[in-house]
Amino acid sequence: MNLMPIIVMGSDHAGFRMKEFLKKNLQEAGYTVEDKGTNNEESVDAGIYAIAVGEEVAADPVHKKGILICGTGIGMSMNANKVNGIRASLAADLFSAKMTRAHNDANVLCMGARVIAEAMAWEITKVWLSTEYLGGKYAKRVEHMMAYEKTRK
C-alpha cells in the first residue's frame, strides 16, 4: 500500500501565489502540507526556502517530497540540488513531470510561476505525485548520481 507523502513546500515572492494555490489543492486532495515559506510577496532570496525544503525532504525521504516555486523554477532547482540527498527537477510539462519521477526518482519538484499557469502547475503536480520510480536500469543511474554527491565536500 502506497501512503501519501507529506508535501514540503516553499517559494520565493514570485512563486507565493502559486504555492498557496497548490497548497490548497493538495490539502483538498488529502495531502499533509508543510509550508516553509515565504508568506507574502515581498522580495526574498529563493535559496533560503529551497534549502529549507531540501533539508526537510532529505531528512525523511521515505515520507516526504518537496515542491518549490519561484519565477522560473530554475533558481529553486539549482539551490535545492545543493542539499545532499536531493534530486530536484524543473518541470513545465506533463511528460517531464512523469519522467523525472519514473527515471530519476526526483524527490523535489520545481516549477516557475512566470512560466506556467496555476492550472498547469496543478496538473504537473498530480502527474509527478502519481508516478512511481521505475528502478531497474534507472537505479544504477540514480545510484551513480548519489555516489558522486557523497564525494563532494
One-letter amino acid of 144: H
What are the residue numbers of the active site?
70, 103
Closest by CA to 37, choosing from 24, 21, 53, 58, is 53
Exposed / middle / buried, residue 85 (Cβ in 10 Å: 0-12, 13-18, 19+): middle
Closest by CA to 69, choosing from 44, 100, 96, is 44
Q: Is-contact 84 107, C-beta < 8 A?
A: no
Q: Is 10 helix (H, G, I), strand (E, B) or coil?
A: strand
End-to-end alpha-carbon separation of the chain, Å? 38
Burial per residue of 42-62, b for 16 or more beta-carbon CB atoms within 10 angstroms, e otherwise: eebebbebbbbbbbbbbeeee
